[in-house]
A and B are shown apart, each in its own frame.
Chain A
Amino acid sequence: MLLAFTQLGFSSILALVILGIILGMVAYSIYFERKIAGWVQDRYGPNRVGLPTLVGDLLPEKYGKFHFWGLGQPIADGLKFFLKEDIIPSHVDKPLFLIAPCVSLIVALIGFVVIPWGGQVAIFGQVFNVQVANPDIGLLYILGVGSMGVYGVVLGGWASNNKYSVYGAVRATAQMLSYEIPMGVAIMCVVLTCGQVRLEEIMASQVAGWNVWNLFYHPVAFIILWITMFAETNRTPFDLAECEQELVGGFHTEYSAMKFAMFFLAEYAHMITGCAFLAVLFCGGWDPIPFVRIPLFRPEDTGIIAMLAKMAVLFGKVAFFMFMYMWVRWTVPRFRFDQLMRVAWKGLIPASLGVLAVAIAGLYLGLHRTLWFTLPGNVAVVLVSLWVMSRAKDPVSGREANLPPLTRSPELGVQA
Chain B
Amino acid sequence: MGEELRLSIAADVDVVEARQQGRALAAVAGFSSGEQTVIAAAISEIARNILMYAKKGEITLSLVQNGDRQGVSIIATDQGPGIPDIDRAMQYGYSTSHGVGAGLPGAKRLMDEFDVDSVVGRGTTITMKKWRRAI
A and B physically associate = no
**Chain A interface residues toward B at CB < 8 A:** none
Question: Which residues of chain B have a CB within 8 Å of any CB of chain A?
Answer: none
